[in-house]
Structure 1
Amino acid sequence: MTRLADQLRTLFPGTALAALVAMAAQFLSEHYGAPAMLMAILLGIALAFLSEEPRSAPGIAFSSRMLLRIGVALLGVRISTGMVQELGLGLLGLVVGGVLATIGASVLAAWMLGRDRLFAFLSGGAVAICGASAAMAISSVLPKREESERDLIFTVVSVTMLSTLAMIAYPILAARLGFDMRQTGVFLGGTIHDVAQVVGAGYSVSEETGDLATLVKLIRVTMLAPIVLGAALIMRRHAPEEGARPPLVPGFVLGFLVLAGLNSAGLLPGWVSEGASAVSRWALLTAIAAVGMKTSLKKLLDVGGPAIALVAAQTVFIAVLLGIGVVWIG
C-alpha cells in the first residue's frame, strides 16, 4: 500500500494537469463549437514545457500511454453484432473494403515513392477508421522512434481539421451528387474521420441520415481492433530482439474485443455502456492532451509538405471510393 501511495503521489501532478487541459478543451468545444480533440492538442502543445518539469513529467507520460489504452479498450461498449446485420452485406463489404483499401493504398504509395511506410500506415489508419482514436491506438503498437510523437500529433491535428471541413462540405457534396437519404448516410459515415463530425454532418441532413451515418461510422470503429492486432503481430514478427517484441495480443485490444462481445450478447446494462463510453471519451481526451504536452512545435513543423499531401490524398481516396460504391450499390 505504501508503494502504491508513492506511485499515486508521483503520477498525480502530471495526470491532473493533463485532465485540466482536457476539461478546458471540452469547455471550448461546448461553448464555441471547436473540435475537442484539436483544442486538447493545441492547449497541450502550448504547455509543452510542463513535460520537462520533474514533478509533472511522470504523470504526463502515464496519461499519454495508459489512459490511451483504457480509452480505446472502452470503445468496445459501443459495438455489437446487431450493427452488422442492420447494415446488410453489400454496404458492409463497401465500408470494410473502403477501410482496407485506404490503408493498403497508403502503404503502397509510400513504398513506391520511397516515403515512411510507418507514417503512411498511421495516417491511413486514422483516415480510414476513426480519426484521432485510431491514430493513438495504432501509434501505441508501432516501433518507438524519435519521430513517433511528432507523427502522432501531426496525424491527429490534420485528420481532425480535415474531418471538420468534411462535416461542412460533404452534406452539400452529397446533395449535389443527387444521393438519397440512405446513400448520404452511408457516404457521410464511411468517409468522415471522427465520430463527432459524422454525427454533426448526418443529423444536419435528417434524423434518418444521422442514424445511418452513425451506424456506418461505428462499423468502421469495429475495424480498429483487427487492424491494431494485425499491426502488433507484424511488428512482433519483425522485432530485432526477443526482448523487444510487443505482446502477442495488446491488452487494450483484448479489452475492446471482450467488451464488444459482452455488448453483443446483451450482458451490459445501458447505464454501464453509457458510463463506459463517457469514461472512454475523457480518457482519450486526457491522453491526447498529454501527448500534446510532450510535443515540440518545432519538431511538428518539420513534418513537411509531403506528409500534408499524403493525408489529403488519403481523405480524397476514401471519399471517391465510397462515393462510387454507394452509387453502384444503390
Structure 2
Amino acid sequence: MRGAFRPAVLKSEADRAFPGLAVAGCVAVTAQFLAEHYGAPAMLMAILLGIALHFLSEEGRAAPGIDIAARHVLRVGVALLGVRISAELVLDLGAGVVLLTVAGVAATIGIAQLAAPLFGRGRRFAFLTGGSVAICGASAAMAIAAILPRTDRSEQDLVFTVVGVTVLSTVAMILYPILAGAVGFDPVVTGVFLGGTIHDVAQVVGAGYSVSDGAGDAATLVKLIRVSLLAPVVLIAALVLRAQGAGGARPPLLPGFVLGFLVLAAANSAGIVPEPARELANAVSRWALLTAIAAVGMKTSIPNLLKVGRTAILMLVGETLFLALFVLAGALLLL
C-alpha cells in the first residue's frame, strides 16, 4: 500500500512544483541569452527579470516551485562549485599570495562587522554583504543567505546584495584593468589584484584576459582560491549561529550543500573527476544558480527592496573599496 502511495505523492509534489520551476528556468534561459548577445551580466539580468514577475510568487500555481528554486536549487548550484577547486591551485600561487587572499577575505568580513553599527545595520546583514564582496559575489551571497535565520527582510536583503555586488563587479571589471595599466603593474601583480578584488568569477576572467594571458591566468587562480574559502566561511558561520540558537531552529552542524562542496573539491584535488564530468558540473551549477536567483527575484517586492536604504549602498561600496586597497597594498609588498 505504501509502495503504491509513494509514487502518487511524488507525482503530486512534482506537479505542484513544476510551474514555478519552469518559469524560473525560462527566466534563466532568457537572462543567459541577453548575456551572450548583449554583454549584460547574466546574474543581474536574471534577478531583474525575476523582479518583473514578482506577482507570480504571491499566489497561484507557480508559488511553490518558485520557493523550491530559491532554496533547494540554490543549494545544488553552490555545492557543484566545488568542482572548480583543487589543491593544485594553492601550490601554483605560492604561500604569500594564498595568505594575502585569505587575509583579504577575513579582513573584509571583519570590517563589515565592525562598520555595521555605524551604518545602522545588523551583523547578519553585514555578514551577507561582507561575505559576498570578500568571496565570490552573487554565489557567496546566496550561500550565506541559505544559512542565515529567515526574516521578513531575507529576500530583499539578498536581492539588494546580489544586484549591488553584480553592478560593482561589472564596474570593477572596466576600471581596475585601467588602473593597473596606469600604475604600471606587471602581469602577475595585475592578476593578483584583479582576482583578489573583483566579486564575480566571470568578471574576473573578463578583466584578467583583457590585460594579457599571464594576468588572466593569475587572476583566475586567485579568484578560485577565494571561491574555495566559501565552504569554511559558511561552515564557521553555521557553527556560530548554531551556538547562538539564532532564529529558533538551529542550523545543521554541517549544511548539506557545504558538505557537497567539500566532497567535490576533495575529489577534484585527487584527480578522480573526469574532465567531461567537471564541465557538466560547472554547467549545471551555473544554470542552477541562474534559476535560483531568478526565483529569488520573483519573490522580491520593489517597494520592500527600496526600503534597504542609502546606508546599505554606502556600506557595500565601502566594503568593496576596502578590499581593493587591502589587496593592492598586499600585492605590492609581496610581489
1:182 equivalenced with 2:188 (yes/no): yes
Deviations, residues 266-323 of structure 1 (Å, cap 9, x unaligned): 0110000000010000000000000000000111111111000000000000000011
Q: Residue type of the partner of 1:62? A: I
Q: Secondary structure at the match of 1:248?
A: coil
Structure 1 gap ranges (5+): none
What is the match of residue 23 of structure 2? 17
What is the match of residue 328 of structure 1? 333
Shift of 1:177: 1.8
Aligned counterparts of 1:88 and 1:5: Cα–Cα separation in 2:
52
- Conserved? CA contact 2:149–2:246, under 8 Å: no
- Conserved? CA contact 2:120–2:311, under 8 Å: no
What is the match of residue 315 of structure 1? 320
Shift of 1:107: 0.4
1:80 equivalenced with 2:71 (yes/no): no
Shift of 1:54: 2.1
1:229 equivalenced with 2:241 (yes/no): no
Aligned counterparts of 1:115 and 1:266: Cα–Cα separation in 2:
44
Q: Residue type of the partner of 1:108? A: L
1:139 equivalenced with 2:131 (yes/no): no
Shift of 1:111: 3.8
What is the match of residue 289 of structure 2? 284
Aligned Cα root-mean-square deviation (Å): 1.0
Q: Secondary structure at the match of 2:136?
A: coil
What is the match of residue 4 of structure 2? none
Q: Secondary structure at the match of 1:244?
A: coil
Deviations, residues 190-234 of structure 1 (Å, cap 9, x unaligned): 000000000100000011111110110000000000000011111
Shift of 1:176: 1.5
Deviations, residues 235-277 of structure 1 (Å, cap 9, x unaligned): 1111158x71111100000000000000000011000000001
Aligned counterparts of 1:262 and 1:14: Cα–Cα separation in 2:
33
Aligned counterparts of 1:174 and 1:146: Cα–Cα separation in 2:
42
1:161 equivalenced with 2:167 (yes/no): yes
Aligned counterparts of 1:327 and 1:212: Cα–Cα separation in 2:
15
Deviation above 3 Å: which 4+ runs of structure 1? 111-114
Match of 2:51 among 45, 59, 66: 45
Shift of 1:102: 0.3
What is the match of residue 297 of structure 1? 302
Shift of 1:113: 5.2
1:108 equivalenced with 2:127 (yes/no): no
Moved more, 38-47 or 230-239: 230-239
Shift of 1:110: 1.1
Shift of 1:175: 1.2
Structure 2 gap ranges (5+): 1-6
